Amino acid sequence: MDLGNKTIIITGASSGIGAAAAILCASQGANLVLGARRHNELQLIVDQITQSNGSATCLAGDVTDEAYAAALVALAESTFGGLDGAFNNAGTVGAMGAVPEMESTNWRTVIDTNLTSAFFAAKAQIPALVARGGGSIVYTSSFVGFSNGGMPGMGAYAASKAGMIGLVQSLASDHASDGIRVNALLPGGTVTPSGGEGNPAALEFIANLHPMKRMANSAEIAEAALFLLSGRSSFMTGTPMTVDGGMSVRLL
C-alpha cells in the first residue's frame, strides 16, 4: 500500500476534501490523526475508517491556535509512535467583496485560518518529521492567487493562498536535506459542503468556468493529495500542483 504504516495528520477532515482524503489514505494503510472544529463529524469519519479495519483517531480544535497544531503532532506520536506526513487542508474563503469595502476582521480571519495556520503546522510538524527521518507535507492552496488566477472579490483569500505557496517553497528549500518534501495542492472548483451544494445555479456557473465544464468531486482531489503524500511523488518538492480542470489554462 502507498502509505502502509505511515502516520498522517489531516486537517479539515470532518467533511469535503479532508474527509475524502482520510478515507482514501486509510484504505492505503495509513494511520490517521484527523483534525477539524467539529468533534461529532470527525468521530463519524473515524468510525467509518475503523469499521473498515483502518486506523484513525481524532482531536477537535481550531487551526488558528498554535497549541492545537502541537497537540495534533503529540497525538500522532503518543498513539502511533511518530509522524510521517500531513495534509494541512483546513481553510476558509471568507466573505467576498472588493478590498475597499472589506471588514478588517474578515481579512484577519482568512489570513489566520489559511496562512498563519500553515505556519503553525510547519512549526509543529517539521521537528517530528526530522525525528522520523523525513516525510511529506501537503498544503491545500488554490489557483486563486497563483499565476493568472486572479478572481474578483477574493482579495483576502488570494493573498492567503499565494502566501501559502511562498511558504511552501521556502520550507521545501530549507528542509529538502532533512528528507522532507513540502508541496501545495491547488484544486479547482470542488463540490463540498462549503461549496454551494444547495445552489444549483451557482454550481453550474462555477462548473462552466472550467474548460472541462464540470467541478471536481472531493474524491478526485483526495487522489491528488495521496499522490503528494506518497512515495510516488518522491522527486517533487516546492511544487504548486494544479488539479483544476484546466482553470489555470483558461486564465493564461
Residue 20 lies in a domain: yes
Is 192's pLDDT higher than 90? no
Contact call for residues 84 and 7 (beta carbons, < 8 A): yes
Residue 93 DSSP one-character state: -
The reported pLDDT for the residue numbered 2 is: 86
- Residue pLDDT, tens place only, 205-239: 666 666 666 776 888 989 999 999 999 999 999 99
Provide the CB-side half-sphere exposure for 115 (13 A, CA): 19
Residue 1 lies in a domain: no
The reported pLDDT for the residue numbered 71 is: 98
Q: Determine the Cα angle at 110 with ends 237 and 44, to 5°.
A: 75
Q: Which of 129, 157, 161, 243 is catalytic?
A: 157
Residue 2 lies in a domain: no
The reported pLDDT for the residue numbered 1 is: 66
d(CA 2, CA 232): 8
Is 188's pLDDT higher than 90? no
Contact call for residues 243 and 216 (beta carbons, < 8 A): yes
d(CA 162, CA 173): 17
Contact call for residues 231 and 181 (beta carbons, < 8 A): no
Mapped onto helix, strand or coil, the DSSP state of residue 81 is coil
The reported pLDDT for the residue numbered 199 is: 62
Contact call for residues 32 and 48 (beta carbons, < 8 A): no
**Residue 157 is among the residues annotated as catalytic for this protein:** yes
Q: What is the CATH number of the domain that holds 86?
A: 3.40.50.720
Tally of domains in the chain: 1
The reported pLDDT for the residue numbered 218 is: 80
Between 213 and 33, the higher pLDDT residue = 33
Host domain of residue 92: 7-250
- Confidence label for 147 from pLDDT (cuts 50, 70 and 90): low
Residue 82 lies in a domain: yes
Contact call for residues 69 and 61 (beta carbons, < 8 A): no
Contact call for residues 145 and 162 (beta carbons, < 8 A): yes
